Structure 1
Amino acid sequence: MKLIVLSDTHMPKKAKQLPDRLIEELKDADLIIHAGDWQTVEVYHELKKHAPVRGVYGNVDGEDIKRLFPSQLVFDAEGHKIGVIHGHGEKKTTEKRVIEAFEKEDVSLIIFGHSHLPLLRYYKNKLLFNPGSVTDKRKLPYYSFGKLTVSEEIQAEHIFFKTTEE
């Protein structure tokens, strides 16, 4: 099962359309996961043209997104429990907040966003995965999103890219 993971699209503020590099990967995706800060519901409508979409809302999302998506999500993919959350909040780091949010859940993988910083590492037995942002790389050299291949194992990777406008 191929999952494409993105977060912090902030559209149309940070981009008018999804990047070509992302669209290329969406062509054979089985599921798209968005970890919040969509900014507009049009992002959801565009993504669902490619594959089913699951996600959560983030701190910049309005009521239209909150009606479609929860603040936190747990689902099963090929026998693996996956948790999704945006990661915003008060005090502590984004990473500490997302770990605490799922401390009572037996998840294999926690997907989150908010910081725009790509991250792939284990904390105890949980894989932490932040895809970065496809539209707002901030001071990083590349935009990014995630690709997960889920079967008996979870293979996670970041796709880093530059846009043609750079």
Structure 2
Amino acid sequence: MVSSMIIGVLSDTHDNIHATRRILRRLSNYNVELIIHLGDIVSPFTLKAIREEIGDIKLIIVKGNNDGDIYLLNKLSSGYGWMFYSEPTILEIGGRRIFIMHGYGDASTTEKIVDALAKSIDTDILLYGHTHIARSKHINGKLVLNPGEACGYITGRHTYGIIDTTTLNTEIFEEDIK
């Protein structure tokens, strides 16, 4: 049985505290019960800013290739009651099986890996970051989502997503951050 949950999804914040705070404020407007960060937070001080914005909302993080002090990122996350995963993992959330990862190699390689996984693993949702390119599609009946980049450093866009675990509907939003 699927229990309804609204999940906020972001990735690649790259220590852009201003953009991260703005996006987290927007996510709170959607009454998200959980936020998933798909890697490249980068520095532990960014977690402190995230905590200030989201308070008691649960956060799940998967390590990105640019995340620096893994020990402290993990320690802070644990102290806040959040989960920090060093490797891709599958989680049960809102009655759905969700695969989370950051990414590997260039954008094309990451998308090929994700698309192959969507055709082969037993999950409802696959979430990934790394490419900085927002993408939402269904492959083999599974929702595949990359929220793009929160930081705006590569594409100039500050994007994030929302998922409804009941319907598997998703929306990618772009925030105008100045």
Residue matched to 1:61: 67
Residue matched to 1:34: 37
Count of aligned pairs between the two proteins: 159
Out of 96, 119, 123, the residue aligned to residue 139 of structure 2 is: 123
Gaps of 5+ in 2: 76-83
Matched-pair contact (CA < 8 Å) for 1:10–1:37: yes
Partner deviation per Cα, 1:5-47 (whole Å, 9 max, x = no partner)? 0000000xxx233242431323532001001111012333333
Bigger share in helix: 2
Gaps of 5+ in 1: none
1:1-166 correspondence runs (5 A): 1-11=5-15, 15-17=16-18, 18-26=20-28, 28-49=31-52, 50=54, 51-62=57-68, 63-64=70-71, 65=73, 68-89=84-105, 93-100=109-116, 105-136=121-152, 138-140=154-156, 142-151=157-166, 153-163=167-177, 165=178
Q: Please give the TM-score of this superposition, normalised by the length of structure 1.
A: 0.82
Shift of 1:82: 0.6
Q: Label 1:90 to 1:117 Cα distance change in 2 as closer, same or farther (>3 A).
A: closer
What code does the residue aligned with 2:170 have? A
- Percent identity between matched residues is 25
What code does the residue aligned with 1:58 have? G
Q: Please give the TM-score of this superposition, normalised by the length of structure 2.
A: 0.77
Aligned-CA RMSD value: 2.4
SS at match of 1:38: coil
Distance 1:21 1:66 in 2: 22
